[in-house]
Structure formats: C-alpha cells, structure tokens
Structure 1
Amino acid sequence: MITSERMAAVDRNAEALGVPRKQLMESSGNAVARAVRRLADPGASIAVVAGRGNNGGDALVAARFLDGYDLTVHLLGRPETIATEIARENWTALEAAECDAKTVTDSADIALGDPEIVVDAMLGTGVTGELREPEATAAEAINRADATVLAVDVPSGVDADTGEAAGRSVDADHVVTFHDDKPGLASVDADVTVAEIGIPQAAERFTGPGDLLALGRPEQSHKGDFGEVLVVGGGPYSGAPALAAHAALRAGADLVRVACPESIASEVQGYSENHILRPYDGTRLTPADVDRVLSLAADHDAVVVGPGLGSHAETLAAVGDFLSAYDGTAIVDADALQVVPEVETDATLLCTPHQGELQQMGGETADDWRARADLVAEFAADLGHVLLVKGAYDVVADGDDRRVNRTGNPGMTVGGTGDVLAGAAGALACVRSPFEAAAVAAYANGRAGDAAVDDNGYGLVASDLVDRLPAALREGDR
C-alpha cells in the first residue's frame, strides 16, 4: 500500500532511473483499456470523462486502445490548458486518429448520453479537497448515468489516503489503480484492481529526486513553521556542533540554537553570526547540565545530540539522563550513540552511526549492501528506533520500512561530513517523519558531496557540503 505523496515520489524516482513518465502513462492507459474490455463487450458505448492532468492523460491513452467500442471522450476544459506535455501529446494523438473527442468548457454543457460504461479520469491521487467546476457537475452526471463506472486510480473527489470526500465524489463500481493499492480505496465500495505499469522496485528502494518533492513551502509561511533545532554538542571539539548547526540552517530550519560548554562558545559563535548560543558552565556536558538542556529542548521541534561531545564517562552519563527524560524527537550522533541501546526513553530517536559505531551499539554489518540492509532493519526493529547507517550505500530503516541511498563518494570520508548529515536530519525531522527525514538527509548530503567533488576534486572539507545543501535539496537541480 502506498500513499499519494509517496506515489508521486516513486513516479519521479522511476523517471530518474530511466523509465519515462510517458512510458508509464502508456502502461497505465493500457491497463485502463484492459479493465474496460473486461467489463464491456465489443461495440458497447463508452464515455470517457477526462481531466486536464495526467489522470486524464491515462484515459486518453486508454481511448486509443478501444477502437472496437462506441467511444466518446469528454475533455473537461480547453486542450491548450492541459497541464502536462505528455497528456497534451495524447490528446493530439486522439485528434489525429479522429476519435470522437469533445471539449467541455461550461459545466452546463456536460451531456454523457446513455453509455454502458463511464470512465472517470477527472482527478487522480494527488488532488484533494472539494470538487470544483466543471468536475463537480460532471461527477453528478456520472452518478446519474445508468452505467457501470470505472474510476482511474481513485474515484474523483475521494481522498486517496483517507477514503473521505470533502463534498461530491464519483460513486465508482470499479477502480483500476496503479503500482500499488492506495489506503483510501479500502473505504470505497468498489472492485479494486491494482495494475503493474513498469515502475521498478528500485524507485521505491533507493532514494532519488522524488524524495525531495514534499519539501515545498506554501506562500503564506511564517517564522517557526519549518522548525527550531537545538544542537547539543561540543566540549573536546568545537567544529562539530558548529557544522551541525549550520547544516540545520542550510537544510531549512527557521532557528537553530547550540547548547555547548562555555569554554567553546566563542568558537562556535565565530563560525557564523546565524548561530544562537545557549552555553552552560564548564568544559564538557555533565549530569549537572541535564536539567538546563531539557528545559531548552522543550522549546524546540528537534534536538541533535552528540556532535563533538566526546566520550568522557560524565558526558555519556549526561546523555543517558537526557534521553531518559526527553520525549521529543532527537537525532543521536557520534559518541552519544553508544548510550542508546541501554537507555529507556519515550523520545523518538533517529540514530546516525557509521558501520563501526553500529557495531559498537551491538548491530551487525556486511560488505554487500543488500545483506547490510537486512541486518540494519533487524537491528532497528530490536532497538525500536530509526537507523541511518552511513556507508558507500547508506541504509535507512525503522523496522517496518527501509531505504537505501547511493549518493556520495569516497571524498566524504573526511571528518565532519557526519556532523553535516546529523544537522540536516535535525532540520528535516522538524517537518517530516524521522524515517523520511533520514532518507532525504542522506540523499541531499551525498548529493552535496558529489557537487563538491565535481567542483574541487577529493580535497573537499565538510563545510563544502554545508554550502551546497540548499541546492542539493532542490528537486530540479543537478
């Protein structure tokens, strides 16, 4: 089962893997035509009601495969307003074939006749909310028709994720949906067929540009809408918390604060005027500092714990005390990871070990990425937390799902790239689930590293990745 958001990502990832969307539309349309042929004898009257998006494009393809039927296509709107190039191409192909194709520019003009089958292809899985005109009137006309109704992907007006309708919706008898079942179809009183359309499994398994699609922002946005991150780090090292904090900002967090020892506060502040410091006394984190850190953490959407903290016994005890008392979202990195297997916490943890740290935590690894993905998934299930295990192929797992990231290069063995990843994951965890945040952070971090190597060769430093994160998080770049 797949949500509409994830389906859009997989569709885009398939394209990045070399499977063109036009090819997928051709397969989808063929599947719709097969469904029609199962429902109607040759010569039966068919009315196709097509919207101007790719859902309508699927039906336009289907019409080409239904020459043996008395078929009429009703396009809701002017052809020049068809939203995608591939859907426009299929409208042009129908016109060239002299198919009976009509345009409906006024909802009052919707007249389906007396068809035996109506194909509802007005709106697909990515559209929610109440139907507008002319779709609302078209839905009424479809429901009034004494015909069997076949919906393409999801009945128009029905939310593919919830099965709910905000207003009018098409009452379908049959649904042909693509690639995988949709959660909302369980609530639809219709016969549902899932059609394979050629999307490779790799489009779901591997991260890709589609994973970035959900990061868009509405026009009416306000400070704080995209999260506030607290970085708890530093002591023996000052660069690590500074890198993590700056990466969180570059990955889209609205505000980032750093809780660090007073002894390194000036160094962390000196890295960027954008950092907000919340120092505590001393030279390292100790149990005496935990109450203050907890108080700070309560005002943030996510906490990044670990960069530069070191492994002093008092510091590790403090990390354990913090995680035991904290109930928010935390990204745990570096030396702090060794505390995780023994701590009982209500917090939602995203742990970001490299393979050596994974083994120190009690997990296992393997040279083959497939075997390693299985081992990481098993250990994530045992821990009850999300794991992002860094390597040539990064593995993200939460016990139920897994994803593999292939961006990145050998130049990223330089110190600090993990701090950048942890900071980016912290920002993304403010707006996405920890699992999705981990997958996107791994993809973008590796993509930034690839851009740095393209520009400078293998002499990159971690700050090169930070500067390239904004571009790496844009779907259309590179």
Structure 2
Amino acid sequence: MKPLYSAEEMRALDKRAIEEARIPGLVLMENAGLKTFQIILEKTGGAAGMPVSVLCGKGNNGGDGFVVARHLQNHGAQVRVHLFAPIDAVSGDARAMLDAWMGMGGDLVDDVGDEQSMKDLAEDLADSEIVIDALLGTGLESEVRGAMADAIEMMNDTPGMIFALDIPSGISADTGHVMGTAVQADITCTYGGMKPGHWIEPGRAHCGEMFEIEISLPFEMLDAHQGSTYLLTPEDVWPGLFHRLPDAHKGNFGHLLAIAGSHGKSGAGVLASRAAHRIGAGLVTLAIPRGLESVVAPQSVETMTELLTENDEGGYGKGAGARLLEAASSCTAVLIGPGIPTDAASGEAVLELMKKCELPLVIDADGLNLLAKNSISPGKLASEQIVVTPHPGEMSRLSGFTTQEVQADRVGV
C-alpha cells in the first residue's frame, strides 16, 4: 500500500531531511522545479516559443514556481511570473529562487492584486499555452479569498494547459476539500509523496493526471513513516488474486460465506456472490431466506446456497444464528450486510455471528447499521481482521459525526 502524507507530516519530513540529512532546502526546491519542468516538456512536446504564465505565492510553493519559470525560459519559452506579494515579502529558499529568476532577467510582475495587475494577468492567461499554478501548495488552512481567488477563477477559464505544483491551489492536502475555490489542473506534480487530498473527492477531480516526483528526500526517512492513511492500489491486490498454478483447484482460493440479500433485495445477494467469484474466490456460499432460492439460484449458478428458515416477516427464523455459525465453520472469510433483512430476529442472528466468528469479516450496508444501532464498535467483535465499507451516511451512524462532518474530513473522522 502507498502511504499518503498529511501536510504536517510532509513538512516534518522536509525538516528532517534538511536538519538531519543536511540536504539544503534549495536542493529539494531545485529538484522539485527541475523535474516538474521535465514533465512539462514531455507533455507539451517542448516549450520553445510558447507563452507561459507562472502564478506564484510568497511561500515555498512559489519558490518551486520560480524554478520552473527559470528552466522554461532557459529552453526558449516566453515566461512571465505573476507574484501575489511584494518582492520583500518573499524570504528563505523561495527568495533565493526569486533572486535567481530576476538575476537571469526574468519578466516579473510583483504585488499582483490591484485592478491593473489583475487586468494584465487576465490578458496574459488568455494568451498562454502553459499556466503554472504555484500559488498556495499544501499549506492551505483557510478559504481562498481576494485576488488569489479571482486569479484561480481566471486560471480555470484559460485555454492553456494548467500544471499545478504539489496540489492544485485551493484544495486541502489533508481532506481534498475545496477551500472556497480551487484550480482545475490538467496535470499535478506532487513532491516527496502523495497526500490524502490528491485522492479524496473533490480534490481528486481537480488534480487531473498526477505525477509523484522524487526530490531527494532520503528513502530511509520515507520508509520509516508510520502514518495512518494509505492508498490501496491495483498492484497491491491483483497479483495475489490471479496467480494460478496449473494444478490449482477451487479449494486453494478460499471459501466465502456471503450473508446478503432478502425479500425485495435479492439482487444484493446475487451481485455480492458474483463479485466474489469475479475477484477469484474458490468457493462462495450465499446465506439467504429459504424463500429466495428460486429467485437467486438461476442468477448465480456457480454459487452454493445456505437456506435459512424464515420468520413471519420474511427474515431469518429460529436457529438462524447457530446455522450461520455452523456454515462459517467451513469457510475462510465472511461477508455481512448487503441487503440483509432488518427485522429484530434477523439482527439478533447476525449479531450472534459477528460476536463469535473469528474469521476475517467484511461488513457492509445493513451489517454496519446493525452495529451502529446496537452501539457496537467493529473493534469489539471477535475477529481481528475486519474491513468495513461505509458510505458517508453509514459512517455518520457508526462514528456519531454528522454526514457533513464526515464529508468534510473523511480521513480525520
């Protein structure tokens, strides 16, 4: 799995690289800008003669922008930098890169924000084939307002290709939330490591194509990172699922008990069992009320069924909990929840299984609602390997946060 770094974690890694590994911050900044420039050349086919607008803030994200501007101009592009601060407000490594830009005679408009400078910016953006967003980066903590917000809206209307440095300005690196307004980038080049905001919507939709750039942070420091947020990629999953030896058989690839489907929601059971087969489960048994057999069996002929007695409400009848535990005893994993009956007796049967079953569990949908209704944390169940798959409403019921709070910080909650 791929680690995702919060803004604070990435700042700490940068600081360690500078203070402990003694890698100058200027080296990190130069690497970021140079490798971004190389991607720009790759994506545009060469920058010679192209009009380019680079929008910079006063911080290190702006410093990265000055580096990109310098390399683009060196290769024949017609570059103008628009700095949203007075020159004297830029300090540290960013100031060194600004001085290098001015030292090579780079075109600079500073203290952008008044009516005339914003008008000039709009004209430049309209003519630019390449636009570099180096306004805010990952340090954003409040909504974008004023001239920067107006500039972001202008960028989004430009016909040029937009390259965002580290993360599109206006996107929270930690939550993916749009902080007032945000750049809609065509390409995002992120430095050192991906952030949650690159992958959580709506941030993901604002990033366009993404490139992760290695800027010389020591791999040992990156590998030692013990964060709480990781990205599960196809490379983590597919090789193990689909590697099959010539003499392998279905018994080598696990047996799933799927507790899914009920009257009116039989399709949930069918789809869940089909999905299990599709990803490579050797055997799948679908536990359903007995009356659904004639509906479900023809739609998933490769799936075995565990038929449970029905009560007067169409849910699980007497002894269903024990029957589910017995069925689970011959399986290697259990799926609980999609479309299961929601009456009290059925809930008791499913809870009995969840409290006693030590197999790996995937809990979804009404399985999660059942836990929330009974104030049971997944961590209190017998299994030590549990995957929960809540949508925002289910996460709200599980966590006690409102749906709006969940959506605002899907990692933090």
Using the size of structure 2 for normalisation, the TM-score is: 0.49
Task: Return the TM-score normalized by structure 1.
Answer: 0.42
